Structure 1
Amino acid sequence: MRRAPWIRLLLWHASAAIPVLGAAAAFYGPALERTGGAWPAPLDDVYIHFGFARAAALGHPFSWIPGNGYSSGGTSLIYPLALAPGYLLGFRGAWLGLFAALLACAALLDLCRSLRRLLEPRGGAGAASSRWVAWVAPLFVVAVPLLDWSWFSGMEVALLGAVLGRALVAVRRAELAPPARRPAEQLRAGLLAALLVATRPEAIALAAPLAVAVAHAAGSLGAAASLARASLPTALLLGAHAAANRALTGEWGAAGAVRKLLLSNPYPTPLEKAVEVIKNLAALRVQALESALGGPWLSLVLPALGAVAALDRRSRRVAVPLLLGAYGSLLLVALNATARYQNLRYAAPSLAMLLLAAALGAEALARRGRLAAGVAAALAVAALAAPSGGFARQIDHFARASANIAGQHVEVARRLAARARQTGAPRRVLLGDAGAIPYLSGIPAIDGLGLGGYRGMPFARASVHGVPAVVELIERLDPAERPDVFALYPSWWGGLADVFGRRVDAVKIDDNVICAADEKVIYEADWSALAPPGERRAGVIDEVDIADLVDERAHGYAFPSPRGGWVIGAVLPGGGDGAGGDGAGGDGAPRFDAGRLIPEGREQSFTVGAAAAIARGPAVLALRTDGGGPIALGVAALRDAGGEARVEVPERPAGRWFEIRVPLRDVAPGDRIRIRSLLGTFRSFHVWLLRP
């Protein structure tokens, strides 16, 4: 006797809940034991999302910390907004992770529902022989332990899965809808594709093929109009996001792209960047698309089933985009300098797309008769069983990583919060992309890597150029606004922690599998070597503070790149005229400055500011450098027909600043000044234009 439809549906939901909740329990249970009952988070980035969620709940959307201003550094635009209700409902502190876990399980069940809708037979021959695929669909969702690690990590991956499933269903509905309803369904598919990109930016590799698939199924509506409805929401989202970034941060790209993409690094050559991309691709292929799927041969089952779906007339309009999206997003991820780390979490969307394509392939094959259904079942069993050997390792890694985050980042937050209660300090902490510390301690922070954002200042770009460039931005802050405590990895912050900090505490963990180093050190800050904000040297017409990215941008400063212009920094007493005339402080006290290395045969240049207090005429160019061997410079005001002046600079004593003065006979605002290194490497720290 056939069961009633509602009974079949109830049984299906129960059969879907069992593997999803079972996998969740398998990961969270051991992790809870390792953390001593604190809700586990295997990545500190989880707490960055929590910080954005708390700020949104408090009325500061798209801010990491209220008061820091807009930040483009969140890896997901919408995930913090999905977490914010949990904060308002009382899931505070680390227990927001419990809400994230509930959200992840709900999202995965929603993905299973979407996959079931895609796999349900539409009647015709073979419908009976393929019906079983919809019942095993939830197993495809949780079959790969490496992907499960990310599903349950507290990151945005599970939400991406839910949006992905709904986007695929929308594409299918747009394909099958009658002409009168098809425009609305196409627009719905376009909106969900845009939501995909808002969840993870590399999902653009899937959103674009989905839009083409919608246009391909346009029928009588016309391909151009259909493509517009399916693609314009994503285009508008990307345009609005880029415009907001530009207006509020000065960068078109998001802070994560500026900080992490290999293309943003100004120092390597294109060939060197290409080599790193190839290394990333090789690691992702071997570790995520091969080892994680059962080894070199068994890992081919998933793409083979996906290819079957791509060749099938019924499923190809969602299967082809899934395959293109899987490999396209992996290619985009390979541009990320951190792609090989954090347990390959950036490969998780690609794995999810491959699994969905494989499920579609199993259904397409099973639909072709009993014999084909047997082959489909065998391939499905192979695809689902092959990765299972990785469950024990991934569950153990999840637990150990969660213990690492609790033992290091959470402990640092606890100690800083205790110090603040006892002494009223720190008032602001400097850290490097560490979310748990400000979120759990409640202490305002500046992220030296720039992902947290701080009042539109280019910390992300500065951190790529070098630590001294980050210090230059801190120098711009009012002394009362500068961080009074650091919580940093010393190996990441040479030239800052050791120069401007005094070690007062440290948290060291054993069995480190996820943190950047086993010890995070707490320092008290001493910024006495920084110049007071707004300090201006007497007689200055214009100046360029080299390696201060704000000043460089204002003057159109150009340095030799690639393989040149590396940022350096030093704290030295004044030199030059011996009375602080070089801007190092009239009392001879040591003063910090950052600069750049200009290799022999290369040049730097800048434009005299339009607001410079100068009429056309002679001026003196003063160049700050430090001690070293003899060098020769070629200096020219490019509008001046007098050509380039050669300046010989003798050997200089080490341990202090030194000033080089070059007379210019004709300079005006808007002129381009070029400084070439003719002999030796020029260590260029500061440029002033002075009245003669």
Structure 2
Amino acid sequence: MRRAPWIWLLLWHASAAIPVLGAAAAFYGPALERTGGAWPAPLDDVYIHFGFARAAALGHPFSWIPGNGYSSGATSLTYPLALAPGYLLGFRGAWLGLFAALLACAALLDLCRSLRRLLEPRGGPGAASSRWVGWVGWIAPLFVVAVPLLDWSWFSGMEVALLGAVLGRALVAVRRAELAPPARRPAEQLRAGLLAALLVATRPEAIALAAPLAVAVAHAAGSLGAAASLARASLPTALLLGAQAAANRALTGEWGAAGAVRKLLLSNPYPTPLEKAVEVIKNLAALRVQALEGALGGPWLSLVLPLLGAVAALDRRSRRVAVPLLLGAYGSLLLVALNATARYQNLRYAAPSLAMLLLAAALGVEALARRGRLAAGVAAALAVAALAAPSAGFARQIDHFARASANIAGQHVEVARRLAARAPRRVLLGDAGAIPYLSGIPAIDGLGLGGYRGMPFARASVHGVPAVVELIERLDPAERPDVFALYPSWWGGLADVFGRRVDAVKIDDNVMCAADEKVIYEADWSALAPPGERRAGVIDEVDIADLVDERAHGYAFPSPRGGWIIGAVLPGGGDGAGGDGAPRFDAGRLIPEGREQSFTIDAAAAIARGPAVLALRTDGGGPIALGVAAPRDAGGEARVEVPERPADRWSEIRVPLRDVAPGDRIRIRSLLGTFRSFHVWLLRP
């Protein structure tokens, strides 16, 4: 007796829920025991999303904290918006993690459903009721949860599970665009393009998949024409990226997102291209060995997934989906290798690649199973190998998930509790996660992911800690943080100079936090200059290492292997600001021998063309020689001999300039020794 298709559908959904919910319970159960009942989060970054979600729920989308302004540091544009309804429904504090877990399970079930649709017969469920979806469709959910390293990320509270759901729907949309009749195909192509854009909005590395998917849609255009089809499939992604870049530029001064500025190796101005390439190779090697080999069962068994993916790529029915999946898997891994943190946080950046490989492998099993009894037997054997090989990692990944969750609860959540009891005005931190979200205290993220009124904290944190202090100096004293929550080893020159240790939280068995101890400090900014302070007689000035001032003056430092940022607090010297002898902070850059720095005089400077005096602040050190050149100076580069300076105070070097005007570019070259350049003033003679 034939059963109705809806019964099979109901049974299939029940069978899909078992592995997904079973895997969720396997990870959350031990973690709840380790956290003492608090909802587990194995990454502090989870709470970054929660912060953006809370701000969105309160009517401040794309802000980390209401009042801080626009931030591009969320990385995922869509995930906080998906979490925001949970906050409105009453999932507050750490319990927003429970909503995230429910969302993750729903997203994975949706991914399983999409995979089933990719695997069912061409005619749909009614085409062959006895083989309604085939045995491959029944085991499809196992592919979704087969890799423990991927499951760690699925259930971490990050955006990966949502990405999986969007990924599945994008693949189904590409298949529908391929099979749709000509009259409906343009709409299906646009649908595929919109879902590809949603992929990129959920995780930027997905551009490596979105682009091949657009080409696949164009390849299946038929009578519609490839160019128009490619436009429908790719323009939504292009428009999204263009709009995001324009918003970032207008609101933060950067084309890229804060996460890219902070984390990409390309953003670091100090290493040479060769040194950056070496780091990329190291990342690729670690990702290959740990994510593409170790997580999949070892060097040999790990080849089963790409082998099955290759089978799918060669199959006429599945190639337009399988080829983009393979290109996307390895392409996104290449993009991830540009991330300085790619090897850390349990390889979470490799999760999308693993998901793509698993989906391609499932398509490969189905492609083999359609080719006769012998091929079906081979497909079954390969499916068993692909699903069983990673299983040895379940115990280790579940244990790591629990320990990491205990780390975050024991350190970040505890610091948030203690800060909430202190009720400071504003906290400076290097983790834009649990501490500000759970404490409810206004905060500035020194690493820049949180964003603060368009100031370039992300870029400053890459250049060096003193550059972060320079940005804080720009703030009104009432806005400056009165408390720090920092890792001392990460913030030398800030925590030890401007802070007084008042509390600390130390954890044992640290597997996830940046250090086992996070310290709370009371701030003392008395060494910072008052905002807007201006030296008498100044025509123009450049505060070196203040990235806002540097950008305004087109300042250039020798890069790579030069221009490293330094900072010092010394009594005032010469006639510069702070000349009353009170200790004054300033940041600067190291200009190696034979290299130069340069800047452009503000075009709006109140100066008529004519002579001026260049005053350069430096600190102590041995004799050096500088070459100073202005474009209108007929004498060319002037050599300035600088004698040894005392180490306990600021010193000033004065250089007369015969003829300068607004818009002129001034070059200062280190002819002998390394010049420690902190500040430049252009004075009336």
Give the TM-score category using the shorter length: over 0.9
2:5·2:132 contact (CA, 8 Å) conserved in 1? no
| Superposition TM-score, scaled by structure 2 size | 0.98
Alpha-carbon displacement from aligned partner over 1:315-342 (angstroms, at most 9, x marks no partner)? 0000000000000000000000000000
Cα distance in 2 for residues equivalent to 1:283 and 1:552:
37
1:130·1:373 contact (CA, 8 Å) conserved in 2? no
Q: How many angstroms does 1:640 deviate by?
A: 2.4
**CA separation of 1:125 and 1:570: change in aligned 2, threshold 3 A:** closer
* Structure 2 residue matching 1:53: 3-state secondary structure: helix
**CA separation of 1:459 and 1:130: change in aligned 2, threshold 3 A:** farther
Alpha-carbon displacement from aligned partner over 1:1-49 (angstroms, at most 9, x marks no partner)? 3321111000000000000000000000000000000000000000000
Instruction: Return the match for 2:284 from 259, 281, 286.
Output: 281
* Structure 2 residue matching 1:86: 3-state secondary structure: helix
Moved more, 243-252 or 586-595: 586-595
1:302·1:383 contact (CA, 8 Å) conserved in 2? yes
Q: How many angstroms does 1:583 deviate by?
A: 2.6
Gaps of 5+ in 1: 421-425, 577-581
* Structure 2 residue matching 1:289: 3-state secondary structure: helix
**CA separation of 1:382 and 1:537: change in aligned 2, threshold 3 A:** same
**CA separation of 1:134 and 1:518: change in aligned 2, threshold 3 A:** farther
Alpha-carbon displacement from aligned partner over 1:123-171 (angstroms, at most 9, x marks no partner)? 6999989959765500000000000000000000000000000000000
Cα distance in 2 for residues equivalent to 1:515 and 1:305:
37
Cα distance in 2 for residues equivalent to 1:259 and 1:429:
20
Q: How many angstroms does 1:70 deviate by?
A: 0.1
2:572·2:584 contact (CA, 8 Å) conserved in 1? yes
Gaps of 5+ in 2: none
Alpha-carbon displacement from aligned partner over 1:183-238 (angstroms, at most 9, x marks no partner)? 00000000000000000000000000000000000000000000000000000000
1:541·1:613 contact (CA, 8 Å) conserved in 2? yes
- Using the aligned pairs only, state the percent identity: 98
**CA separation of 1:135 and 1:527: change in aligned 2, threshold 3 A:** farther
Alpha-carbon displacement from aligned partner over 1:597-623 (angstroms, at most 9, x marks no partner)? 000000000000011111000000000
Instruction: Return the match for 1:149 from 141, 148, 152.
Output: 152
Cα distance in 2 for residues equivalent to 1:124 and 1:354:
25
2:78 is the counterpart of 1:75: no
Alpha-carbon displacement from aligned partner over 1:305-364 (angstroms, at most 9, x marks no partner)? 000000000000000000000000000000000000000000000000000000000000
| Superposition TM-score, scaled by structure 1 size | 0.97
Alpha-carbon displacement from aligned partner over 1:102-126 (angstroms, at most 9, x marks no partner)? 0000000000000000000226999
**CA separation of 1:644 and 1:111: change in aligned 2, threshold 3 A:** same
**CA separation of 1:397 and 1:531: change in aligned 2, threshold 3 A:** same
* Structure 2 residue matching 1:40: 3-state secondary structure: coil
1:115·1:134 contact (CA, 8 Å) conserved in 2? no
2:571·2:579 contact (CA, 8 Å) conserved in 1? no
Cα distance in 2 for residues equivalent to 1:286 and 1:571:
46
Equivalence for 1:579: none
1:465·1:566 contact (CA, 8 Å) conserved in 2? yes
Equivalence for 2:439: 441
Moved more, 582-591 or 431-440: 582-591
1:15·1:135 contact (CA, 8 Å) conserved in 2? no
Cα distance in 2 for residues equivalent to 1:381 and 1:268:
46
Moved more, 125-134 or 98-107: 125-134
Moved more, 308-317 or 1-10: 1-10
**Correspondence list, 1:570-649, <5 A:** 570-576=568-574, 582-649=575-642
1:151·1:158 contact (CA, 8 Å) conserved in 2? yes
2:270·2:559 contact (CA, 8 Å) conserved in 1? yes
**CA separation of 1:524 and 1:470: change in aligned 2, threshold 3 A:** same
Cα distance in 2 for residues equivalent to 1:133 and 1:485:
60
**CA separation of 1:269 and 1:127: change in aligned 2, threshold 3 A:** farther
Cα distance in 2 for residues equivalent to 1:331 and 1:121:
34
List 4+ stretches of structure 1 deviating above 4 A. Answer: 123-136
Instruction: Return the match for 1:486 from 484, 497, 504.
Output: 484
1:79·1:199 contact (CA, 8 Å) conserved in 2? yes
**CA separation of 1:683 and 1:134: change in aligned 2, threshold 3 A:** farther
Cα distance in 1 for residues equivalent to 2:353 and 2:522:
43
How many residue pairs get aligned? The number is: 682
Cα distance in 2 for residues equivalent to 1:453 and 1:570:
26
Q: How many angstroms does 1:653 deviate by?
A: 1.3
Q: How many angstroms does 1:584 deviate by?
A: 4.0
1:126·1:367 contact (CA, 8 Å) conserved in 2? no
Cα distance in 1 for residues equivalent to 2:210 and 2:634:
55
* Structure 2 residue matching 1:480: 3-state secondary structure: coil
Cα distance in 2 for residues equivalent to 1:653 and 1:352:
61
Q: How many angstroms does 1:657 deviate by?
A: 0.3
* Structure 1 residue matching 2:466: 3-state secondary structure: helix
Moved more, 583-592 or 399-408: 583-592
- In angstroms, what is the RMSD of aligned CA positions? 1.5
Alpha-carbon displacement from aligned partner over 1:604-653 (angstroms, at most 9, x marks no partner)? 00000011111000000000000100000000102322201000001111
* Structure 1 residue matching 2:104: 3-state secondary structure: helix
1:557·1:605 contact (CA, 8 Å) conserved in 2? yes
Cα distance in 1 for residues equivalent to 2:308 and 2:127:
18
Q: How many angstroms does 1:433 deviate by?
A: 2.5
Q: How many angstroms does 1:585 deviate by?
A: 1.5
Cα distance in 2 for residues equivalent to 1:132 and 1:342:
41
